Structure 1
Amino acid sequence: MSRVRPGRWLLALPMALLALATIYPLVFTANVAMKTRREYVLDRFSLADALRWENVATAWNTVDMARYLANSVGTVTASVVLLLLFGSMAGFALSQLRFRGSSVLFLGCLAAVFVPFQVIMVPLNRIMADAGLVDTYPGLVLAYVAQFLPFTIYLMTSYYRTIPTEIVDAARIDGNSVYGVYRRIMLPLGTPALLSVGILDALFCWNDVLIALLLMPSAEHRTLMVGVTSLRGQYSADIPTFASGVLIAAIPVLVVYLLLQRQIADGVAAGSTKG
Protein backbone atom coordinates (compact mmCIF):
# COMPACT_ATOMS: atom_id res chain seq x y z
CA MET A 1 0.00 0.00 0.00
CA SER A 2 1.56 3.24 -1.14
CA ARG A 3 1.92 6.12 1.23
CA VAL A 4 0.47 9.52 0.50
CA ARG A 5 3.24 12.08 0.46
CA PRO A 6 2.79 15.04 2.84
CA GLY A 7 3.63 17.39 -0.02
CA ARG A 8 0.52 16.30 -1.87
CA TRP A 9 -1.65 17.17 1.11
CA LEU A 10 -0.02 20.58 1.32
CA LEU A 11 -0.96 21.15 -2.30
CA ALA A 12 -4.39 19.48 -2.21
CA LEU A 13 -5.68 21.34 0.85
CA PRO A 14 -5.41 24.90 -0.53
CA MET A 15 -6.70 23.70 -3.90
CA ALA A 16 -9.74 22.14 -2.20
CA LEU A 17 -10.39 25.35 -0.25
CA LEU A 18 -10.09 27.37 -3.46
CA ALA A 19 -12.52 25.04 -5.24
CA LEU A 20 -14.97 25.30 -2.33
CA ALA A 21 -14.73 29.10 -2.34
CA THR A 22 -15.45 29.09 -6.09
CA ILE A 23 -18.33 26.62 -6.09
CA TYR A 24 -20.14 27.74 -2.92
CA PRO A 25 -21.43 31.12 -4.24
CA LEU A 26 -23.07 29.38 -7.21
CA VAL A 27 -24.63 26.71 -5.00
CA PHE A 28 -25.82 29.36 -2.53
CA THR A 29 -27.35 31.44 -5.35
CA ALA A 30 -29.15 28.40 -6.80
CA ASN A 31 -30.49 27.50 -3.36
CA VAL A 32 -31.76 31.03 -2.71
CA ALA A 33 -33.41 31.10 -6.15
CA MET A 34 -35.52 28.10 -5.15
CA LYS A 35 -36.83 29.70 -1.93
CA THR A 36 -39.84 31.84 -1.16
CA ARG A 37 -39.37 35.28 0.31
CA ARG A 38 -40.54 33.97 3.67
CA GLU A 39 -38.03 31.13 3.68
CA TYR A 40 -35.20 33.49 2.78
CA VAL A 41 -36.10 35.98 5.53
CA LEU A 42 -36.42 33.26 8.18
CA ASP A 43 -33.16 31.48 7.31
CA ARG A 44 -31.14 32.46 4.26
CA PHE A 45 -28.61 29.64 4.70
CA SER A 46 -31.01 26.71 5.03
CA LEU A 47 -31.83 24.41 2.15
CA ALA A 48 -34.92 25.20 0.09
CA ASP A 49 -37.95 23.05 0.90
CA ALA A 50 -38.70 22.46 -2.80
CA LEU A 51 -37.58 23.40 -6.30
CA ARG A 52 -39.64 26.52 -7.06
CA TRP A 53 -39.01 27.35 -10.72
CA GLU A 54 -41.60 30.13 -10.63
CA ASN A 55 -38.90 32.48 -9.33
CA VAL A 56 -36.84 31.77 -12.44
CA ALA A 57 -39.91 32.26 -14.64
CA THR A 58 -40.64 35.59 -12.94
CA ALA A 59 -37.07 36.80 -13.44
CA TRP A 60 -37.11 35.62 -17.07
CA ASN A 61 -40.39 37.28 -18.01
CA THR A 62 -40.36 40.48 -15.95
CA VAL A 63 -37.37 42.25 -17.51
CA ASP A 64 -37.34 40.54 -20.93
CA MET A 65 -34.38 38.28 -20.22
CA ALA A 66 -34.71 36.56 -23.60
CA ARG A 67 -33.96 39.83 -25.43
CA TYR A 68 -31.06 40.64 -23.09
CA LEU A 69 -29.63 37.15 -23.56
CA ALA A 70 -29.75 37.52 -27.35
CA ASN A 71 -28.11 40.96 -27.08
CA SER A 72 -25.27 39.56 -24.95
CA VAL A 73 -24.69 36.54 -27.18
CA GLY A 74 -24.53 38.70 -30.30
CA THR A 75 -22.23 41.38 -28.92
CA VAL A 76 -19.93 38.94 -27.13
CA THR A 77 -19.58 36.72 -30.21
CA ALA A 78 -18.75 39.64 -32.51
CA SER A 79 -16.35 41.13 -29.97
CA VAL A 80 -14.46 37.88 -29.40
CA VAL A 81 -14.12 37.22 -33.14
CA LEU A 82 -12.63 40.67 -33.72
CA LEU A 83 -10.42 40.45 -30.65
CA LEU A 84 -8.95 37.12 -31.73
CA LEU A 85 -8.49 38.29 -35.32
CA PHE A 86 -6.75 41.56 -34.48
CA GLY A 87 -4.95 40.14 -31.46
CA SER A 88 -3.48 37.20 -33.36
CA MET A 89 -2.41 39.43 -36.24
CA ALA A 90 -0.76 41.94 -33.92
CA GLY A 91 0.81 39.16 -31.84
CA PHE A 92 2.29 37.59 -34.96
CA ALA A 93 3.66 40.91 -36.18
CA LEU A 94 5.14 41.96 -32.83
CA SER A 95 6.71 38.58 -32.11
CA GLN A 96 7.91 37.29 -35.49
CA LEU A 97 8.28 40.21 -37.90
CA ARG A 98 11.33 42.39 -37.63
CA PHE A 99 10.55 46.10 -37.89
CA ARG A 100 11.62 49.23 -36.10
CA GLY A 101 9.53 50.19 -33.09
CA SER A 102 8.03 46.75 -32.41
CA SER A 103 9.33 46.74 -28.83
CA VAL A 104 7.85 50.17 -28.18
CA LEU A 105 4.50 49.11 -29.59
CA PHE A 106 4.50 45.99 -27.41
CA LEU A 107 5.30 48.04 -24.31
CA GLY A 108 2.50 50.44 -25.26
CA CYS A 109 0.02 47.54 -25.43
CA LEU A 110 1.31 46.25 -22.11
CA ALA A 111 0.89 49.68 -20.52
CA ALA A 112 -2.66 49.96 -21.87
CA VAL A 113 -3.61 46.78 -19.97
CA PHE A 114 -3.14 48.65 -16.69
CA VAL A 115 -5.30 51.66 -17.60
CA PRO A 116 -8.64 51.39 -15.74
CA PHE A 117 -11.75 51.92 -17.81
CA GLN A 118 -12.91 54.64 -15.41
CA VAL A 119 -10.04 56.80 -16.65
CA ILE A 120 -11.20 56.73 -20.28
CA MET A 121 -14.96 56.33 -19.88
CA VAL A 122 -15.75 60.05 -20.26
CA PRO A 123 -13.71 60.67 -23.45
CA LEU A 124 -14.89 57.31 -24.83
CA ASN A 125 -18.51 58.28 -24.32
CA ARG A 126 -17.86 61.63 -25.98
CA ILE A 127 -16.18 60.01 -28.98
CA MET A 128 -18.96 57.46 -29.35
CA ALA A 129 -21.61 60.19 -29.12
CA ASP A 130 -19.88 62.31 -31.78
CA ALA A 131 -19.65 59.25 -34.06
CA GLY A 132 -23.31 58.37 -33.51
CA LEU A 133 -22.43 54.99 -31.98
CA VAL A 134 -24.10 55.41 -28.58
CA ASP A 135 -26.97 52.95 -28.06
CA THR A 136 -25.87 50.83 -31.03
CA TYR A 137 -24.50 47.31 -31.09
CA PRO A 138 -21.50 48.22 -33.32
CA GLY A 139 -20.56 50.91 -30.81
CA LEU A 140 -20.63 48.44 -27.92
CA VAL A 141 -18.59 45.89 -29.90
CA LEU A 142 -15.98 48.53 -30.79
CA ALA A 143 -15.79 49.58 -27.13
CA TYR A 144 -15.20 45.98 -26.06
CA VAL A 145 -12.52 45.53 -28.71
CA ALA A 146 -10.78 48.74 -27.69
CA GLN A 147 -10.90 47.83 -24.00
CA PHE A 148 -9.72 44.23 -24.18
CA LEU A 149 -7.48 44.27 -27.28
CA PRO A 150 -4.28 45.22 -25.40
CA PHE A 151 -4.71 42.20 -23.12
CA THR A 152 -5.30 39.94 -26.12
CA ILE A 153 -2.27 41.31 -27.98
CA TYR A 154 -0.07 40.87 -24.93
CA LEU A 155 -1.00 37.20 -24.46
CA MET A 156 -0.81 36.33 -28.16
CA THR A 157 2.55 38.06 -28.53
CA SER A 158 3.91 36.21 -25.52
CA TYR A 159 2.72 32.90 -26.96
CA TYR A 160 3.97 33.51 -30.49
CA ARG A 161 7.41 34.45 -29.16
CA THR A 162 7.80 30.83 -28.00
CA ILE A 163 7.53 29.65 -31.64
CA PRO A 164 10.99 29.42 -33.27
CA THR A 165 11.61 32.05 -35.92
CA GLU A 166 13.11 29.34 -38.14
CA ILE A 167 9.58 28.09 -38.83
CA VAL A 168 8.58 31.50 -40.19
CA ASP A 169 11.82 31.81 -42.17
CA ALA A 170 11.30 28.38 -43.71
CA ALA A 171 7.74 29.25 -44.69
CA ARG A 172 8.92 32.48 -46.34
CA ILE A 173 11.61 30.58 -48.25
CA ASP A 174 8.91 28.21 -49.52
CA GLY A 175 7.22 31.18 -51.14
CA ASN A 176 4.58 32.13 -48.56
CA SER A 177 3.72 35.78 -48.15
CA VAL A 178 3.40 37.34 -44.71
CA TYR A 179 -0.33 36.71 -44.83
CA GLY A 180 0.29 33.12 -45.95
CA VAL A 181 2.61 32.51 -43.01
CA TYR A 182 -0.01 33.95 -40.65
CA ARG A 183 -2.88 31.91 -42.11
CA ARG A 184 -1.12 28.60 -42.76
CA ILE A 185 1.44 28.50 -39.95
CA MET A 186 0.73 30.87 -37.07
CA LEU A 187 -3.03 30.41 -36.78
CA PRO A 188 -2.87 26.59 -36.49
CA LEU A 189 0.07 26.75 -34.08
CA GLY A 190 -1.70 29.40 -32.01
CA THR A 191 -4.95 27.45 -31.61
CA PRO A 192 -4.37 26.57 -27.92
CA ALA A 193 -3.62 30.19 -27.04
CA LEU A 194 -6.51 31.48 -29.18
CA LEU A 195 -8.92 29.19 -27.36
CA SER A 196 -7.72 30.23 -23.92
CA VAL A 197 -7.66 33.94 -24.75
CA GLY A 198 -11.05 33.67 -26.44
CA ILE A 199 -12.58 32.17 -23.31
CA LEU A 200 -11.10 34.94 -21.16
CA ASP A 201 -12.26 37.68 -23.53
CA ALA A 202 -15.74 36.15 -23.66
CA LEU A 203 -15.90 36.15 -19.87
CA PHE A 204 -14.74 39.78 -19.72
CA CYS A 205 -17.35 40.90 -22.24
CA TRP A 206 -20.12 38.75 -20.80
CA ASN A 207 -19.62 39.96 -17.22
CA ASP A 208 -19.24 43.61 -18.16
CA VAL A 209 -21.75 46.03 -16.69
CA LEU A 210 -20.07 49.45 -16.75
CA ILE A 211 -19.34 49.72 -20.49
CA ALA A 212 -22.75 48.36 -21.51
CA LEU A 213 -24.53 50.61 -19.00
CA LEU A 214 -22.64 53.64 -20.31
CA LEU A 215 -23.11 53.04 -24.04
CA MET A 216 -26.53 51.29 -24.14
CA PRO A 217 -29.00 53.51 -22.24
CA SER A 218 -32.21 52.20 -23.85
CA ALA A 219 -33.93 49.24 -22.22
CA GLU A 220 -34.32 47.18 -25.40
CA HIS A 221 -30.56 47.27 -26.10
CA ARG A 222 -29.40 46.18 -22.66
CA THR A 223 -27.12 43.21 -22.21
CA LEU A 224 -27.94 40.39 -19.85
CA MET A 225 -25.76 41.60 -16.97
CA VAL A 226 -27.28 45.07 -17.16
CA GLY A 227 -30.70 43.44 -17.19
CA VAL A 228 -29.83 41.53 -14.02
CA THR A 229 -28.71 44.80 -12.44
CA SER A 230 -32.05 46.40 -13.27
CA LEU A 231 -33.76 43.34 -11.80
CA ARG A 232 -31.98 44.07 -8.52
CA GLY A 233 -33.54 47.51 -8.49
CA GLN A 234 -37.07 46.24 -9.15
CA TYR A 235 -36.86 43.36 -6.68
CA SER A 236 -34.69 44.79 -3.92
CA ALA A 237 -36.97 43.16 -1.32
CA ASP A 238 -37.40 39.92 -3.27
CA ILE A 239 -33.95 38.37 -3.11
CA PRO A 240 -34.99 34.93 -4.48
CA THR A 241 -36.20 36.53 -7.73
CA PHE A 242 -32.98 38.51 -8.03
CA ALA A 243 -30.96 35.35 -7.33
CA SER A 244 -32.89 33.65 -10.14
CA GLY A 245 -31.75 36.39 -12.53
CA VAL A 246 -28.15 35.94 -11.43
CA LEU A 247 -28.52 32.19 -11.97
CA ILE A 248 -29.83 32.76 -15.50
CA ALA A 249 -26.82 34.95 -16.29
CA ALA A 250 -24.37 32.37 -14.88
CA ILE A 251 -25.77 29.30 -16.64
CA PRO A 252 -24.44 30.08 -20.18
CA VAL A 253 -20.90 30.65 -18.90
CA LEU A 254 -21.08 27.48 -16.81
CA VAL A 255 -22.28 25.43 -19.79
CA VAL A 256 -19.49 26.75 -22.01
CA TYR A 257 -16.92 25.91 -19.38
CA LEU A 258 -18.25 22.38 -18.84
CA LEU A 259 -18.19 21.74 -22.59
CA LEU A 260 -14.72 23.20 -23.17
CA GLN A 261 -12.94 22.48 -19.89
CA ARG A 262 -10.56 19.97 -21.50
CA GLN A 263 -9.68 22.38 -24.31
CA ILE A 264 -9.21 25.23 -21.84
CA ALA A 265 -6.87 23.12 -19.69
CA ASP A 266 -4.92 21.96 -22.75
CA GLY A 267 -4.59 25.55 -23.96
CA VAL A 268 -3.32 26.80 -20.60
CA ALA A 269 -0.87 23.88 -20.35
CA ALA A 270 0.38 24.44 -23.89
CA GLY A 271 0.87 28.14 -23.27
CA SER A 272 2.79 27.52 -20.06
CA THR A 273 5.09 24.73 -21.24
CA LYS A 274 5.71 25.45 -24.92
CA GLY A 275 9.31 26.38 -25.69
Structure 2
Amino acid sequence: MPGRRLSKWVVAVPMGVLALVTIYPLVFTANVAMKTRREYILDRFSLTDSLRWDNLVTAWTSIGMARYFANSLIVVTASVVTLLLLGSMAGFALSQLRFRGSKAFFLGCLAALFIPFQVIMVPLARVMADTGLIDTYPGLVLAYVAQFLPFTIFLMTSYYKTIPAEIVDAARIDGNTVYGVYRRIMLPMGAPALLSVGILNALFCWNDVLISLLMMPSADHRTLMVGVTSLRGQYSDDIPTFASGVLIAAVPVLLTYLFLQRQIADGVTAGSTKG
Protein backbone atom coordinates (compact mmCIF):
# COMPACT_ATOMS: atom_id res chain seq x y z
CA MET A 1 0.00 0.00 0.00
CA PRO A 2 2.71 2.59 0.85
CA GLY A 3 4.56 1.59 -2.32
CA ARG A 4 1.45 2.21 -4.41
CA ARG A 5 0.96 5.67 -2.86
CA LEU A 6 4.61 6.48 -3.49
CA SER A 7 4.30 5.47 -7.13
CA LYS A 8 1.28 7.78 -7.51
CA TRP A 9 3.24 10.70 -6.07
CA VAL A 10 6.16 9.92 -8.38
CA VAL A 11 3.82 10.40 -11.33
CA ALA A 12 1.64 13.20 -9.89
CA VAL A 13 4.43 15.58 -8.84
CA PRO A 14 6.23 15.78 -12.21
CA MET A 15 2.91 16.06 -14.06
CA GLY A 16 1.81 18.85 -11.72
CA VAL A 17 5.06 20.72 -12.29
CA LEU A 18 4.68 20.26 -16.05
CA ALA A 19 1.11 21.59 -15.88
CA LEU A 20 2.25 24.70 -13.98
CA VAL A 21 5.09 25.32 -16.43
CA THR A 22 2.65 25.02 -19.32
CA ILE A 23 -0.09 27.21 -17.83
CA TYR A 24 2.12 29.97 -16.43
CA PRO A 25 3.01 31.62 -19.79
CA LEU A 26 -0.69 31.94 -20.66
CA VAL A 27 -1.54 33.38 -17.24
CA PHE A 28 1.40 35.79 -17.45
CA THR A 29 0.33 36.92 -20.94
CA ALA A 30 -3.25 37.49 -19.82
CA ASN A 31 -2.04 39.46 -16.79
CA VAL A 32 0.22 41.68 -18.94
CA ALA A 33 -2.58 42.26 -21.45
CA MET A 34 -4.69 43.79 -18.69
CA LYS A 35 -2.00 46.30 -17.63
CA THR A 36 -1.24 49.77 -18.86
CA ARG A 37 2.17 50.47 -20.33
CA ARG A 38 3.17 52.38 -17.19
CA GLU A 39 2.17 49.52 -14.90
CA TYR A 40 4.16 47.05 -16.97
CA ILE A 41 7.29 49.21 -16.91
CA LEU A 42 7.07 49.70 -13.15
CA ASP A 43 6.54 46.02 -12.34
CA ARG A 44 6.03 43.47 -15.07
CA PHE A 45 5.46 40.50 -12.73
CA SER A 46 2.89 42.02 -10.36
CA LEU A 47 -0.79 41.16 -10.65
CA THR A 48 -2.96 43.78 -12.33
CA ASP A 49 -5.24 45.76 -10.05
CA SER A 50 -8.30 45.51 -12.29
CA LEU A 51 -9.42 43.97 -15.56
CA ARG A 52 -8.83 46.46 -18.37
CA TRP A 53 -10.01 45.49 -21.84
CA ASP A 54 -8.61 48.55 -23.62
CA ASN A 55 -5.56 46.71 -24.93
CA LEU A 56 -7.65 43.87 -26.30
CA VAL A 57 -10.01 46.30 -28.02
CA THR A 58 -7.06 48.20 -29.49
CA ALA A 59 -5.44 44.99 -30.74
CA TRP A 60 -8.71 43.80 -32.26
CA THR A 61 -9.69 47.03 -34.00
CA SER A 62 -6.77 49.41 -34.50
CA ILE A 63 -3.95 46.93 -35.09
CA GLY A 64 -5.96 44.74 -37.45
CA MET A 65 -6.26 41.51 -35.49
CA ALA A 66 -9.89 41.23 -36.63
CA ARG A 67 -8.75 41.18 -40.27
CA TYR A 68 -6.02 38.64 -39.51
CA PHE A 69 -8.54 36.51 -37.63
CA ALA A 70 -10.93 36.55 -40.62
CA ASN A 71 -8.10 35.63 -43.01
CA SER A 72 -7.15 32.65 -40.86
CA LEU A 73 -10.77 31.55 -40.56
CA ILE A 74 -11.28 31.61 -44.33
CA VAL A 75 -8.06 29.78 -45.14
CA VAL A 76 -8.34 27.18 -42.37
CA THR A 77 -11.97 26.35 -43.22
CA ALA A 78 -11.27 25.93 -46.94
CA SER A 79 -8.11 23.91 -46.27
CA VAL A 80 -9.73 21.53 -43.77
CA VAL A 81 -12.76 20.88 -46.00
CA THR A 82 -10.50 20.13 -48.97
CA LEU A 83 -8.20 17.93 -46.89
CA LEU A 84 -11.08 15.90 -45.46
CA LEU A 85 -12.69 15.43 -48.88
CA LEU A 86 -9.49 14.32 -50.64
CA GLY A 87 -8.14 12.42 -47.64
CA SER A 88 -11.33 10.42 -47.09
CA MET A 89 -11.59 9.52 -50.78
CA ALA A 90 -7.96 8.43 -50.95
CA GLY A 91 -8.23 6.56 -47.65
CA PHE A 92 -11.27 4.65 -48.87
CA ALA A 93 -9.59 3.76 -52.16
CA LEU A 94 -6.30 2.66 -50.56
CA SER A 95 -7.93 0.61 -47.81
CA GLN A 96 -10.92 -1.03 -49.50
CA LEU A 97 -10.27 -1.03 -53.26
CA ARG A 98 -7.69 -3.02 -55.14
CA PHE A 99 -5.95 -1.32 -58.05
CA ARG A 100 -2.49 -1.28 -59.57
CA GLY A 101 -0.06 0.99 -57.79
CA SER A 102 -2.08 1.35 -54.58
CA LYS A 103 0.75 0.13 -52.36
CA ALA A 104 3.27 2.37 -54.12
CA PHE A 105 0.96 5.36 -53.70
CA PHE A 106 0.50 4.65 -50.00
CA LEU A 107 4.25 4.27 -49.51
CA GLY A 108 4.70 7.57 -51.33
CA CYS A 109 2.35 9.24 -48.85
CA LEU A 110 4.35 7.76 -45.99
CA ALA A 111 7.58 9.02 -47.53
CA ALA A 112 6.09 12.50 -47.93
CA LEU A 113 5.53 12.67 -44.16
CA PHE A 114 9.30 12.73 -43.64
CA ILE A 115 9.99 15.62 -46.02
CA PRO A 116 10.34 18.94 -44.13
CA PHE A 117 8.61 21.92 -45.66
CA GLN A 118 11.93 23.79 -45.75
CA VAL A 119 13.12 21.35 -48.43
CA ILE A 120 10.32 22.19 -50.86
CA MET A 121 9.60 25.81 -49.94
CA VAL A 122 11.76 27.37 -52.68
CA PRO A 123 10.38 25.32 -55.61
CA LEU A 124 6.86 25.69 -54.18
CA ALA A 125 7.23 29.47 -54.04
CA ARG A 126 8.49 29.57 -57.65
CA VAL A 127 5.62 27.42 -58.90
CA MET A 128 3.07 29.54 -57.03
CA ALA A 129 4.64 32.75 -58.34
CA ASP A 130 4.61 31.46 -61.94
CA THR A 131 0.93 30.54 -61.65
CA GLY A 132 -0.05 33.83 -59.98
CA LEU A 133 -1.14 32.23 -56.72
CA ILE A 134 1.19 34.14 -54.39
CA ASP A 135 -0.71 36.42 -51.99
CA THR A 136 -4.05 34.75 -52.73
CA TYR A 137 -6.34 32.61 -50.61
CA PRO A 138 -6.38 29.70 -53.12
CA GLY A 139 -2.58 29.69 -53.18
CA LEU A 140 -2.29 29.33 -49.40
CA VAL A 141 -5.06 26.72 -49.33
CA LEU A 142 -3.25 24.66 -51.99
CA ALA A 143 0.00 24.95 -50.04
CA TYR A 144 -1.69 23.69 -46.86
CA VAL A 145 -3.37 20.84 -48.75
CA ALA A 146 -0.07 19.80 -50.30
CA GLN A 147 1.68 19.89 -46.92
CA PHE A 148 -0.92 18.09 -44.78
CA LEU A 149 -2.64 15.77 -47.28
CA PRO A 150 -0.17 12.85 -46.79
CA PHE A 151 -0.86 12.95 -43.03
CA THR A 152 -4.62 12.98 -43.66
CA ILE A 153 -4.44 10.11 -46.16
CA PHE A 154 -2.34 8.03 -43.78
CA LEU A 155 -4.76 8.41 -40.85
CA MET A 156 -7.89 7.88 -42.95
CA THR A 157 -6.40 4.81 -44.64
CA SER A 158 -5.44 3.37 -41.25
CA TYR A 159 -8.95 3.97 -39.92
CA TYR A 160 -10.80 2.61 -42.96
CA LYS A 161 -8.70 -0.58 -42.84
CA THR A 162 -10.43 -1.41 -39.54
CA ILE A 163 -13.81 -1.56 -41.35
CA PRO A 164 -14.56 -5.15 -42.48
CA ALA A 165 -14.40 -5.63 -46.25
CA GLU A 166 -17.64 -7.62 -46.06
CA ILE A 167 -19.56 -4.38 -45.45
CA VAL A 168 -18.25 -2.93 -48.70
CA ASP A 169 -18.95 -6.17 -50.57
CA ALA A 170 -22.52 -6.26 -49.26
CA ALA A 171 -23.09 -2.67 -50.35
CA ARG A 172 -21.78 -3.46 -53.85
CA ILE A 173 -24.07 -6.49 -54.07
CA ASP A 174 -27.02 -4.25 -53.16
CA GLY A 175 -26.30 -2.23 -56.28
CA ASN A 176 -24.22 0.65 -54.94
CA THR A 177 -21.52 2.09 -57.13
CA VAL A 178 -18.07 2.83 -55.74
CA TYR A 179 -19.15 6.43 -55.15
CA GLY A 180 -22.36 5.17 -53.51
CA VAL A 181 -20.37 3.00 -51.12
CA TYR A 182 -18.13 5.95 -50.27
CA ARG A 183 -21.03 8.35 -49.71
CA ARG A 184 -23.52 6.05 -47.98
CA ILE A 185 -21.23 3.70 -46.05
CA MET A 186 -17.69 5.00 -45.62
CA LEU A 187 -18.41 8.65 -44.87
CA PRO A 188 -20.89 7.94 -42.04
CA MET A 189 -18.71 5.18 -40.55
CA GLY A 190 -15.62 7.37 -40.84
CA ALA A 191 -17.21 10.35 -39.08
CA PRO A 192 -15.19 9.92 -35.82
CA ALA A 193 -11.90 9.80 -37.71
CA LEU A 194 -12.92 12.70 -39.94
CA LEU A 195 -13.72 14.80 -36.89
CA SER A 196 -10.41 14.00 -35.23
CA VAL A 197 -8.32 14.52 -38.36
CA GLY A 198 -10.21 17.73 -39.13
CA ILE A 199 -9.42 19.13 -35.69
CA LEU A 200 -5.73 18.23 -36.02
CA ASN A 201 -5.48 19.78 -39.48
CA ALA A 202 -7.28 22.90 -38.29
CA LEU A 203 -4.75 23.29 -35.48
CA PHE A 204 -1.84 22.70 -37.87
CA CYS A 205 -3.10 25.34 -40.30
CA TRP A 206 -4.11 27.81 -37.58
CA ASN A 207 -0.72 27.68 -35.84
CA ASP A 208 1.34 27.82 -39.02
CA VAL A 209 3.67 30.76 -39.59
CA LEU A 210 6.25 29.67 -42.17
CA ILE A 211 3.94 28.61 -45.01
CA SER A 212 1.62 31.59 -44.49
CA LEU A 213 4.53 34.02 -44.34
CA LEU A 214 5.87 32.61 -47.61
CA MET A 215 2.55 32.59 -49.45
CA MET A 216 0.99 35.79 -48.04
CA PRO A 217 3.60 38.59 -48.06
CA SER A 218 1.17 41.52 -48.01
CA ALA A 219 -0.22 42.90 -44.75
CA ASP A 220 -3.85 42.69 -45.90
CA HIS A 221 -3.72 38.92 -46.38
CA ARG A 222 -1.74 37.96 -43.30
CA THR A 223 -3.09 35.17 -41.18
CA LEU A 224 -3.46 35.56 -37.43
CA MET A 225 -0.19 33.94 -36.40
CA VAL A 226 1.82 35.95 -38.94
CA GLY A 227 0.05 39.09 -37.77
CA VAL A 228 0.99 38.35 -34.16
CA THR A 229 4.60 37.76 -35.20
CA SER A 230 4.70 41.12 -36.96
CA LEU A 231 3.47 42.87 -33.80
CA ARG A 232 6.71 41.99 -32.05
CA GLY A 233 8.64 44.52 -34.10
CA GLN A 234 5.91 47.17 -34.36
CA TYR A 235 4.97 47.20 -30.67
CA SER A 236 8.24 46.26 -28.96
CA ASP A 237 7.82 49.31 -26.68
CA ASP A 238 4.15 48.53 -25.95
CA ILE A 239 4.25 45.05 -24.47
CA PRO A 240 0.65 45.04 -23.11
CA THR A 241 -0.72 45.61 -26.61
CA PHE A 242 1.54 42.92 -28.01
CA ALA A 243 0.43 40.54 -25.24
CA SER A 244 -3.18 41.26 -26.15
CA GLY A 245 -2.53 40.15 -29.72
CA VAL A 246 -0.87 36.97 -28.48
CA LEU A 247 -3.83 36.29 -26.20
CA ILE A 248 -6.32 36.73 -29.05
CA ALA A 249 -4.38 34.22 -31.14
CA ALA A 250 -4.06 31.72 -28.29
CA VAL A 251 -7.68 31.66 -27.11
CA PRO A 252 -9.15 29.69 -30.09
CA VAL A 253 -6.43 27.04 -29.81
CA LEU A 254 -6.88 26.81 -26.04
CA LEU A 255 -10.66 26.39 -26.34
CA THR A 256 -10.17 23.72 -29.00
CA TYR A 257 -7.89 21.71 -26.72
CA LEU A 258 -10.19 22.13 -23.72
CA PHE A 259 -13.42 21.01 -25.37
CA LEU A 260 -12.14 18.62 -28.07
CA GLN A 261 -9.22 16.94 -26.33
CA ARG A 262 -10.82 13.49 -26.59
CA GLN A 263 -11.27 13.86 -30.35
CA ILE A 264 -7.68 15.06 -30.69
CA ALA A 265 -6.40 12.01 -28.81
CA ASP A 266 -8.59 9.72 -30.94
CA GLY A 267 -7.17 11.31 -34.08
CA VAL A 268 -3.60 10.63 -32.98
CA THR A 269 -4.43 6.95 -32.34
CA ALA A 270 -6.83 6.50 -35.29
CA GLY A 271 -6.40 3.10 -36.86
CA SER A 272 -3.87 1.90 -34.30
CA THR A 273 -6.23 -0.81 -33.02
CA LYS A 274 -8.18 -3.43 -34.90
CA GLY A 275 -11.89 -3.97 -34.50
Is the Cα contact below 8 Å between 2:160 and 2:271 reproduced in 1?
no
Cα shift at 1:143: 0.7
> Structure 2: which amino acid aligns with 1:228?
V
SS of the equivalent of 2:158 reads: helix
Q: Is the 8 A contact 1:71 1:222 kept in 2?
A: yes
What CA distance in whole angstroms lies between the structure 2 residues aligned with 1:213 and 1:205?
12
Match of 1:225 in 2: 225
Once superposed, what is the RMSD of the aligned Cα atoms?
2.4
* CA distance in structure 2 between the partners assigned to 1:225 and 1:273 by the alignment: 35
1:243 counterpart residue number: 243
The whole-number CA distance in structure 1 between the counterparts of 2:20 and 2:190 is 33
1:106: how far off?
1.0
Distance of aligned partners of 1:148 and 1:269 in 2 relative to their CA distance in 1, 3 Å threshold: closer
Mean Cα displacement is larger for which, 39-48 or 228-237? 39-48
Contact 2:159 2:270 in 1 (8 A): no
Alignment of 1:192-203 (within 5 A): 192-203=192-203
Letter of the structure 2 residue corresponding to residue 212 of structure 1: S
Deviation at 1:183, TM superposition (A): 1.0
Distance 1:243 1:188, change over 3 A: same
Match of 1:234 in 2: 234
Are 2:34 and 2:51, in contact at CA under 8 Å, matched by a contact in 1? yes
Distance 1:245 1:156 in 2: 35
Structure 1 residues 168 and 146, CA gap change in structure 2 (3 angstroms) = same
Question: Counterpart in 2 of 1:29?
Answer: 29
Q: How far 1:14 moved relative to its partner?
A: 4.3
- How far did residue 72 of structure 1 move? 0.7
* C-alpha distance in 2 between matches for 1:241 and 1:31: 12
User: Which amino acid counterpart does residue 202 of structure 2 have in structure 1?
Assistant: A
Q: Confirm or deny that 1:89 pairs with 2:86.
A: no
Alpha-carbon distance between aligned partners in 2 of 1:216 and 1:251, rounded to the nearest angstrom:
23
Tell me whether 1:137 sits opposite 2:140 in the alignment.
Answer: no
SS in 2 for 1:39: helix
Residue segments in structure 2 that go unaligned for 5+ positions in a row: none
Q: Name the residue aligned to 1:180.
A: 180
How many residue pairs get aligned? The number is: 275
Mapped pair 1:253 → 2:253: yes
Contact 2:36 2:240 in 1 (8 A): yes
Percent of pairs with identical residues:
81
Matches within 5 A, 1:1-275: 7-261=7-261, 263-264=263-264, 273=273, 275=275
Q: 131-140 or 31-40, which moves further after superposition?
A: 31-40
Q: Distance in 2 between matches of 1:263 and 1:241?
A: 34
User: 1:149 corresponds to which letter in structure 2?
Assistant: L
Given that 2:158 and 2:272 are in contact with CA atoms closer than 8 Å, whether structure 1 keeps it comes out as no
Contact in 2 for aligned 1:192/1:271 (Cα 8 Å): no
Question: How far apart are 1:268 and its partner, in Å?
Answer: 6.0
Cα-to-partner distance string for 1:75-100 (whole Å, 9 max, x where unaligned): 10000000001011111111111122
Contact 1:63 1:227 (C-alpha < 8 Å) held by counterparts: no
Taking structure 2 as the reference length, what is the TM-score of the superposition?
A: 0.90
2:34–2:53: 8 Å Cα contact kept in structure 1?
Answer: yes
Amino acid across the alignment from 2:249: A
Preserved CA contact (<8 Å) 1:112 1:150: yes
Deviations 1:142-192 (A, max 9, x none): 111111111111111111111122221222122211111111111111111
1:206 Cα shift?
0.6
C-alpha displacement of 1:24: 2.5
Counterpart contact for 1:69–1:224, Cα < 8 Å: yes
For 1:178 and 1:6, locate their aligned partners in 2 and report how far apart those are by CA, in whole Å. 57
Change (3 A) 1:109 1:270: closer
Q: Which letter does structure 2 place at the counterpart of 1:194?
A: L
